[in-house]
Structure 1
Amino acid sequence: MAKYFLNILLLTLVIFLAARLGLQVSIAKDNISLLWPPTGISIAVLLLQGRKLWPSIFLGIAFATAATGIKWGFIFAAALTNTVEALLATQLIHYWQVDYKLERIYDVLKLLVIILIITPLMAGLMGATGFCLNFTCSPEMFFDISWKWWVGNAMGALVITPLLLTWSHPQFHHSPPSKQAIVFIITGFALLISTNLLVFGRFPITPLNLNYYPLQYLCFPFLIWAAFSLKEKGATLAIFLTVIIAIEGTLQGDQPFGVSESVHSNLLILWSFMLVVSIPTLILASAVSERDFAEEQLSILAYQDPLTHLPNRSAFYREVSNFLSSCQVGNTDQACAILFIDLNRFKEINDSFGHTLGDQLLCQVSQKVKGSIPQAYIMARLGGDEFAVLVPSFKGYKEIEILTQDILKQFESSFVIESCEFIIGATIGIVIGNCSYTKAEDIIRDADIAMYHAKTSNRKSCYFDPLMRQKVISRLKLEQELRRGIDNNELNLVYQPIVNILNQKIMGFEALLRWYHPERGWVSPGRFIPIAEETELIVEIGDWVLTQACQQLQQWQENFSTEISMSLSVNVSPKQLRENDLVAHVNQMIKLYDIDPENLNLEITETAILESNSKQVLDELKALGVRLYLDDFGIGESSLSRLYQLPLDVIKIDRSFVQGIPENRRKSAIAQTIINLADNMDLGVIAEGIETEAQKKELLKWGCLRGQGFFFSKPVSAEVATDLIANNHLS
């Protein structure tokens, strides 16, 4: 409370002195204030310190007007008018949400409307009314007093309120000005003051006479300089200095505003000058601030990730480039480390729960990982679920190992978002960089390669080795050649018989993809199919395989329609199963080639049936009449409950279990369990990879009646398969 009353006392004193000064700054014989400082001070103080200080305005104005010996009625009216004006102005400024820093043109315009039009007009009418209630005045005098009161208060607010508001905030947001900048600023303001003093007759120079209209506008270049160089603070200070010198020169009767014998003419010219000087300068300063803010935002967008607020890819590349450059010109023994972090299972969560939740998860991950690394290290989001950490210098590999483990520990606990708990992992690729690298993209690429190697090796982290790069290059080259191979019709199908194990009669075929490279020769499916799976090529290849298989099945049906019903199995990749048009494409092939859908078997892997929409797709395929096989059963992650829900017809035992029969008791037990499971679920069963008589006998003993493998036949061409169907028996 004591502090409050002390503030009231101090502000009362300031308002009193400002009012006395305002009464001194008046046109002779008319006692009309050219500029009423209490208005500008009152509005600024109430905005900055709170409206609770309003009694100071009333008291300060009352004491100042009382000192002139005027009637008490008018003293009360003048004090009330100034107090209401300041309170109304602050209320409107808050209501219109004007930013006190005046860094936007919109804020400047709103403030000018309030302090130049609305509140001073109201004050002029109130003040003139108070005058006429206490003194005799005609209607002409009422309006004359009103507009002069209005303009005097408006000028006081225009010159002083922006000055106090802008200078109440720190001037330099980033760093203090240099000595050279300080000298430049002082020189600029010195030239502004000197020019104004010359123009307004305070430094008369003979025979050069500058103090006549319109040479007062010679100050404009310096006002523009202040607005551009120092923005709002420079502009408001330059306006204040210019106006004060102009008023002082006018009061002394000097040119260009003090030469007319008409007080009204001098007032109009001076007030017009004050408006012309102040308003464009304030708007220009705010325009410069808006431009600088836009440039700053563009810089942020260019180098900051908008989601996590971490440095983005461009910023990270810039930091790495700076390090490599310093390494080249400085300490050649200097080394850095880059950790390339990729999140595991993020895409699955993002696709299943939506991008909004995925974005929140990325933010949590970035915060946890950022908090686990030293501040000297630079962490960035490269895009998607990929992050990177730059270690500018380190003492040894142990430090990198500790950092890697600290990051991985952040993924041991779950992430909770919107009452949902998620457990995700991370894979980290590490590269140690030195002067052998000259480009940021090279060292970051190697860290990415190390991460990829760790992921394919089921490891959490891995250091880069140059051999990894050669493998990646070889893989990329093979991918390019595969794309060309598709265009050049280098792919073809072979067919492996599926037989009755008991009598070795052919019951169907499985279509298998092969690639004959013009230079490499036959390329193993184990090499090119994983590459196709990682890209969208598998969808294009899968559609081609389905088309070729249906065309071949049509030929067999036409050739052997009366002798035997032959089925054909086609593998469907998980990516094909996710395609929206798979069901339509299968239906189109059935109708186009007029094949019996019961003779078309689609083989789905366990990985594919884990997809959230797999049951719906399988139900739609089943409705077409095709048969559904679960391929490579036993090596995936499907649960029995999921298996029970799907419209399957056959389970295929993976070759890894069959090849262990009968020597490996565990594999034999698993194979036997799968056969019993299929029997209990009324599903057919086919054993893959049968290569020996012993395997065939054991499977037959356990109740598996169908199988395929080299023991019966290798995959054969369509011509050979046609001959086998004609014989309907494998010898």
Structure 2
Amino acid sequence: MGCVVARKDLRTPAVFVLETLAVAVCYYAGGRLGLLGDLTVAGAVVSPIWPPTGVAVASLLILGLRSWVGIALGAMFVLMYLTTLSPASVGVIAGNTAAPVCGYFLLRMVDFRSDLSRLRDCLTLVFLGAFSAMLISSSTGAGLLVATGDLPWRSFWGVWMAWWVGDAMGVLLITPVLLVLLRLRPPLHWSRWKEAVGLTVMAGFLVPVATRGPGSLLFSVYPLLIWAALRFRLPGSMLCALFASVMATIAATDRIGPFEGLSEVEVMVNLQTFNGALALTSLLLSAVITEQQNTRRSVERACDELVEVLEHLTAGESAAGRSPPEGGGRTRDAG
């Protein structure tokens, strides 16, 4: 027994190091992807969707609080890629680490379930994990830019808003996808594979046309999103929303389609409104559908159990009615 305990103690640091490196690599990879679709707001480069925040919140929900070390390392690697480290960089790294950690604690306080099968879980992820917690990173980052003289004070609120929305979109779009992928277990049942292929083909055709076409056709994506939520619930709706959001972000950075001829502020406002509406629609609609289906299954199970109980009671009463009274037969024979 002592050998087993000692071996476990020796493995614990190695597992922690591997988990930390994995979180840092995923955070850095998400940062590089987010920088591919950056926009300029008031002279500052911001990302409309910042995937590292979604990676960070998902890592905390999956691995626990110990993953904050990997988040801090990943934030440092991303900052080293962007610029030379300075004393102000410590504040940015601290803000980018503290925001998801704060979101993790807020979600834990309200008994958050990572399967997102309840409407309250999706609402808490939106308002606590994304909107509230990401105020820390955006305020810290924009404030340090002003304090170091890299950003004029008059541009603070524009950069702050873009930073905050980008971090929040990372949580709303990336975290649910990672949590859903974690819960997939083989064997996978492809009972509706034809419908899934049809939805994928239609999304592959319609979303690029809506986001890159000359007309304002962004609203045409929502029927696909509703279809995915109704038939494939959270996995289908979130993957569809993520694909549409990425395509819209690419179109916005290229200034084509619905974003052609718009100013920097107008591009950011239109894009973030579209991304936010996509994320909220897919999350809340799929949560409502899942909750209703779970409620219906619970009612069906309760009805089946009640029928079984009634059948047993009926069978017992019938058996009691068919059996003769005790001693009745012997009395008649004696007479």
Give the TM-score normalised by the residue count of structure 1: 0.41
Counterpart pick for 1:224 among 219, 223, 226 = 226
Distance 1:218 1:33 in 2: 25
Whether 2:196 is the aligned partner of 1:185: answer yes
Matches within 5 A, 1:142-161: 142-161=156-175
2:10 match: none
Deviations 1:328-352 (A, max 9, x none): xxxxxxxxxxxxxxxxxxxxxxxxx
Q: Is the 8 A contact 2:206 2:221 kept in 1?
A: yes
Is the alpha carbon distance of 1:79 and 1:164 closer, same or farther for their aligned partners in structure 2, counting shifts above 3 Å? same
Matches within 5 A, 1:509-520: none
Give SS of 1:130's match.
Answer: helix
Give SS of 1:271's match.
Answer: helix
2:309 corresponds to which letter in structure 1? Answer: N
Structure 1: tracts of 5 or more residues without a match: 202-209, 317-381, 387-443, 459-525, 528-731
2:57 match: 43
2:268 match: 267
More strand by share: 1
Distance 2:22 2:249 in 1: 27
Is the alpha carbon distance of 1:453 and 1:17 closer, same or farther for their aligned partners in structure 2, counting shifts above 3 Å? same
Give SS of 1:244's match.
Answer: helix
Q: Is the 8 A contact 2:91 2:144 kept in 1?
A: yes
Is the alpha carbon distance of 1:455 and 1:113 closer, same or farther for their aligned partners in structure 2, counting shifts above 3 Å? farther
Is the alpha carbon distance of 1:32 and 1:165 closer, same or farther for their aligned partners in structure 2, counting shifts above 3 Å? same
Whether 2:135 is the aligned partner of 1:121: answer yes
Deviations 1:379-427 (A, max 9, x none): xxx34xx7xxxxxxxxxxxxxxxxxxxxxxxxxxxxxxxxxxxxxxxxx
- Deviation of 1:265 after TM superposition, in Å, equals 0.6
Distance 2:31 2:210 in 1: 28
Q: Is the 8 A contact 2:103 2:133 kept in 1?
A: yes
1:689 match: none
Give SS of 1:31's match.
Answer: strand
Q: Is the 8 A contact 1:227 1:235 kept in 2?
A: yes
2:75 match: 61
Matches within 5 A, 1:80-229: 80-170=94-184, 176-178=189-191, 181-201=192-212, 210-213=213-216, 215-229=217-231
Structure 2: tracts of 5 or more residues without a match: 1-12
Distance 2:70 2:185 in 1: 29
Task: Determine which structure has more spread, i.e. the larger CA radius of gyration.
Answer: 1
Distance 1:247 1:127 in 2: 22
1:177 corresponds to which letter in structure 2? Answer: W
Q: Is the 8 A contact 2:104 2:129 kept in 1?
A: no
CA RMSD across the alignment: 2.5
1:303 corresponds to which letter in structure 2? Answer: D
Distance 2:94 2:59 in 1: 17
Is the alpha carbon distance of 1:262 and 1:296 closer, same or farther for their aligned partners in structure 2, counting shifts above 3 Å? same
2:240 match: 238
- Deviation of 1:261 after TM superposition, in Å, equals 4.2
Distance 2:127 2:117 in 1: 16
For CA contacts below 8 A with separation 6 or more, give which structure has more relative contact order. 2
Q: Is the 8 A contact 1:16 1:60 kept in 2?
A: yes
2:89 match: 75
Distance 1:60 1:217 in 2: 36
Q: Is the 8 A contact 1:104 1:290 kept in 2?
A: yes
Corresponding pairs, count: 316
Deviations 1:632-677 (A, max 9, x none): xxxxxxxxxxxxxxxxxxxxxxxxxxxxxxxxxxxxxxxxxxxxxx
Give SS of 1:103's match.
Answer: coil
Distance 1:151 1:48 in 2: 24
- Deviation of 1:93 after TM superposition, in Å, equals 0.5
What is the aligned-residue identity percentage?
Answer: 22
Counterpart pick for 1:456 among 295, 316, 325 = 325
Is the alpha carbon distance of 1:74 and 1:255 closer, same or farther for their aligned partners in structure 2, counting shifts above 3 Å? farther
Counterpart pick for 1:247 among 242, 246, 249 = 249
Give the TM-score normalised by the residue count of structure 2: 0.86
Matches within 5 A, 1:255-404: 255-257=257-259, 259-305=260-306, 311-313=308-310, 382-383=312-313
- Deviation of 1:33 after TM superposition, in Å, equals 0.9
More helix by share: 2
- Deviation of 1:457 after TM superposition, in Å, equals 3.8
Distance 2:71 2:38 in 1: 21
2:202 corresponds to which letter in structure 1? Answer: L
Distance 2:108 2:79 in 1: 30
Deviations 1:200-258 (A, max 9, x none): 22xxxxxxxx4322x1111111100110011111111111111111111222221112x
Give SS of 2:257's match.
Answer: coil
Distance 1:311 1:169 in 2: 33
